[in-house]
Amino acid sequence: MKKIGWFLPLLILVGCDAAGYGLWLFTPREKKTIPAEYLGLKNHSLAVIFYVDEKAQLDYPNVRLTLGAKVVEQLRAHVKGLRVVAPLAVARYQDEHLHWDTQDKNTTAKDLKVDHLLIVSLVEFSTRVPGQMNAYQAQILAEANLYDASLDEGENRVWDSKDDSLEVVFPAQPQYNPQAEPIIRRRAEEQFVDQLAKKFYTHKIVVEPEN
């Protein structure tokens, strides 16, 4: 019974309609190519920096590392020749340079020995529904800016997400089992990172059939 209880949140989130899954698995899926919004990271170096406010940092102290590691892993896998700074080294730099967010971006890039900075500002990061201590639903909202340190300060922002906010709400309906919280956070982080990383390489998506 304990094993079943532990597995139940996963079944709720993933779904367990075997017949429907079988039909989906063997149905040809049409795919569409989505071009990268920015291709200039190829054969360059990058530091991914997460700006997290004090409340989120207190509630989720390792969020910079968990998100940073996922972003770095996906970009390394899909952007040829990309060199990235380890998330732990980036977090250490932030902790040792408390005013990193107000100094020149080119100075930060020089300190981290990279030619690009991807700065991600977490506007919201939570795994619980506000005002409901026992309702679990991840909400991630962020803005991102990419800087090219080879350009002059003030003219070095080469990409931003402001026209297309990075947002994830998962699952669609809140869950009320505390055991589901780690799964919810992991899945939400994966979805968020996938949204962000795919801005920088051409990829394919499955086209859902029209009803």
pLDDT of 42 reads: 97
pTM of the model: 0.84
> Radius of gyration of the chain from Cα atoms?
19
CA gap 142, 52 in Å, rounded: 10
60 in Cβ contact with 125 (< 8 Å): yes
pLDDT of 12 reads: 52
CA gap 67, 58 in Å, rounded: 16
Spatial CA neighbour of 67 closest among 145, 172, 140: 140
CA gap 90, 66 in Å, rounded: 12
CA gap 8, 176 in Å, rounded: 12
pLDDT of 22 reads: 54
Per-10-residue mean pLDDT of the chain, 211 residues long, equals 50 50 60 94 98 93 97 97 98 96 97 98 95 92 97 97 88 95 97 97 84 59
pLDDT of 29 reads: 73
pLDDT of 20 reads: 53
Domains of the chain: 31-206 (3.40.50.10610)
pLDDT of 16 reads: 43
Q: How far is CA 201 from the centre of its chain?
A: 15
Q: Give the number of other Cβ atoms within 10 Å of residue 89's Cβ.
A: 12
